[in-house]
Amino acid sequence: MAKKIKVTQTKSIIDRPKDQKRTIEALGLGRPNYFKIHNDTPQIRGMVRKVIHLVKVDEIEE
């Protein structure tokens, strides 16, 4: 059973560096309170780590 994580954007990307904006877009987010369910992979975890100050992460058991 694959673990999943729910990534919720908590802060705006206004006045953030371009790489952080692109990471938020790559995660499928765009505005505060948007969320997306992703498989818990090292690639996704790395992207989340880059913008951890802008998002909240919850682990989901399926």
Per-residue tens of pLDDT for the chain, all 62 residues:
789 999 999 999 999 999 999 999 999 999 999 999 999 999 999 999 999 999 999 999 87
H-assigned helices in the chain: 18-26, 42-50
Model pLDDT, residue 41:
95
Give pTM, 2 decimals. 0.91
- What pLDDT is stored for residue 2 in this prediction? 81
Q: Where are the domains of the chain?
A: 4-60
Torsion of CA 23, 27, 28, 29, to 10 degrees: -70
Res 27: pLDDT: 98
Residue 19: what pLDDT? 97
Please give the CATH superfamily to which domain 4-60 belongs: Ribosomal protein L30/L7 (3.30.1390.20)
